[in-house]
Chain A
Amino acid sequence: MSVPLSYIWRNLAARKLTTLLTAGGMALVVFVFATVLMLEEGLRKTLVETGSPDNVVITRHSAGTEVQSVIDREQAAIVENQPEVAYSTNGLRLASKETIVLISLAKRSSDKASNVLIRGVGQKGIELRPQVEIAEGRMFRPGSTEIIAGKSVAERYKGAGVGETLRFGQREWTVVGIMDAGKTGFDSEIWGDVDQLMQAFRRPVYSSVILKLNDPAAFSELKTRIENDPRLTLEVKQESVFYAEQSQLLANFIRYLGMILSIIFSVGAIIGAMITMYASVANRATEIGTLRALGFRRKNILAAFLLEALMLGAAGGVVGLVLASFMQFFTISTMNWQSFSELAFSFTLNGAIIIKSLAFALIMGVAGGFLPAARAARLSIVDSLRAV
């Protein structure tokens, strides 16, 4: 039988200020840890879910992103007519030849500008992205200078709301609708008719071709054929893979910076826990001696103090998680270095993050409590009874 739980947690409650400060320090560290994980997950969700599993993105070989990619009309036509391409209900191929440009737009809140991605899409463009819906207004009419804006762009940039106009490529473009892409990358884009945009920017070439496969398993066949075709200098990727690769630099940066910060911060919190636990042991020396005299073993004492430290960690973990969960109300908008265009994503909390954060908190507790608990266990009965 070990030392009663009520003894352990009531000692924490008896020293309210100390417990508050120590657990508070750990809570802040868990907050940073959880927030970074949530940011990473938000970024991953945004990008990975931007892609559908049966869609394929074709760009020029080793272009990296659509912005750098150039596909001429002949190559685009060849690609469009591959046998693996699915057909829609009205008998047309589910393929969209698209062109990407980045334009500098001024934000609504400040006058600072950022690069926004404009995507000229083919007729099937929106059908190829089932996660995209028209939330407000309507789809642009093909062959016109109408455009639709992603939710994030409409909110953040001047002139990107329904009924407003943007001027670029020496023309006025009217926003007639807002698309909701379910927090994926398309929320940060503006879409228009590909032919109109190509004319306006005098770019007679496409950036990419998006295809829907009639059978997702046919991907490798299609990939091999296109990449080995001597007429074509293209590379084929599954849409989700394509977008995941696009954010690698940013995702890695967030992950490494976040982990380094969490580790450094945790050192501070662990030191705090250590100081508290050492004081706890020192102040209760007579109690420890009494418990040992009554017959409790050294390992019971060790376990009791470790448990006390774990409880501190758990308290900090829970508070930190609760604080972090409020971050879900915020969205981050920053430039993705690889695609050079702005991307909006938010903090996403899931079960794995909750578990990891709590585990992190408990580990901090153990790390801080171990040496003091060992010291408590090592005390000789006679010495600790004599302590004042």
Chain B
Amino acid sequence: MHFLKLILRNTLRHKLRTSLTVLGLVVAILAFGLLRTVVDAWYAGAEGASSARLVTRNAISLVFPLPINYQERIRRIQGITAISHASWFGGVYVTPKNFFPQFAVDAKTYFSLYPEYLIPPADMKAFLTDRKGCVIGRKLANTYGFKIGDTIPLRGTIYPGAWSFTVRAIYDGAEAGTDTSQFFFHWDYLNETMKKAVARRTDWIGVYVIEISDPDRAAEISTEVDAMFRNSLAETLTETEKAFQLGFVSMTEAIVVAIRIVSFLVIFIILAVMANTMAMTARERIAEYATLKALGFGPYFLAGLIYGESLAIALAGGVLGILLTFPVADRFSEQVGTLFPVFGVSLETIYMQAAAAIAVGITAAILPAFRAARVPIVEGLRSIG
């Protein structure tokens, strides 16, 4: 174990330099982990999607609605066990900065399609009996301090006017990956109000959400639904919920790609720092390495010393960086509130962080170890670094 002791003592020789290097590594690994978590959060919607749910939207684009009378016709298709609908409301709570998703849903049927939204039965009943009631997610409630009984005013953009709703229930997510930043209210209320204001816009909904009994038949059933409405006024496009969510992500793909690239850049930056540290350290100790060689230690031993020191520093920084990722991610998640409803550090991210630290530790040592192993003894002894 003398070898390990030697390595450890060597790292402590230059306390300032070692601690600065470790600090740099902590910052880099932390940044890397955070960026990857941001990318994961981007895909969170798709990750949380169920394979037993389909989404039917207007084939032209999401901006066009579907008639409400499609619901009964779709329900009759074989393999469909339940159907509900949701419409994007897009209201503004005080300022546009306070973004969270709002949907007008078919209250009676919607929540049975989403068993991952946990709502106490008494609250659900209160919501069903209040036409102007709303159901909000736990994260949304925490971000703005909403409680049951509070009134939430929304300024309509797509559906103009000043709207206000009463919180009747707060839902929790069954899993960590469930989106609890959403806001649901009665579509009936929306429709009634539209009847009085703009008659042309009544009886239209955004998307249908369909539950199927056999996930393997998803493609089949999707085609059946779309065939039913081909050549009608509002042609449909049905896909799995996952595909639907991924569609959104792909529209902002450029940003995701950019963030991924940047996360690797930070590793390169710290690699430069680490390589510099090891190069300087090795150069200053040439006389020592020459001495060891004179004493009979082979080039592998020397290389081992340098790799060992480099890895020791990299692992110290890596472990600290990984540990810090969790509290920092939590703070970040609080700050962005409902913009990233799901923000959790995944196991894969931790593996990648560890791999990055190890890779940096090894790569930084390559050149110095090579040089040290090859230094001729006499020259080395004469050198004063």
Contacts and interface: CB of A to CB of B under 8 A. Distances in A.
B376 interface: no
Interface stretch (A178-186, A275-283, A290-298): A275-283
A149 to B, nearest CB: 17
A101 B61 contact: yes
B272 interface: yes
Nearest to B30: A264
Contact of B276 (A18, A29, A101): A18
B61 A249 contact: no
B20 A271 contact: yes
B18 to A, nearest CB: 10
Interface string B256-300: 001100100110111011011101100010000000000000000
B269 A29 contact: yes
A21 B273 contact: yes
B122 interface: no
B153 interface: no
Interface in B153-195: 155-158, 160
Contact of A22 (B16, B90, B272, B385): B272
Contacts of B276: 17-18, 21-22, 25, 272, 275-276
A77 interface: no
Nearest to A64: B157
A21 B24 CA distance: 14
B258 to A, nearest CB: 8
B60 A275 contact: no
A61 interface: yes
A201 to B, nearest CB: 8
Interface stretch (B220-228, B245-253, B346-354): B245-253
A346 to B, nearest CB: 12
B156 to A, nearest CB: 8
Contacts of A2: none
Interface stretch (A50-58, A110-118, A132-140): A110-118
B90 A271 contact: no
A249 B96 contact: yes
Interface in A362-384: none
Contacts of A268: 24, 27-28, 266, 269-270, 273
A104 B247 CA distance: 10
Interface of A: 17-18, 21-22, 24-25, 28-29, 31-32, 60-64, 67-68, 101-104, 112-115, 168-170, 201-202, 204, 233, 248-249, 257, 261, 264-265, 267-269, 271-272, 274-276, 278-279, 283, 332-335, 337-338, 340, 342, 388
13 contacts: A17-B276, A63-B157, A64-B157, A101-B63, A103-B60, A168-B60, A201-B64, A248-B96, A265-B266, A267-B27, A271-B24, A278-B20, A342-B251
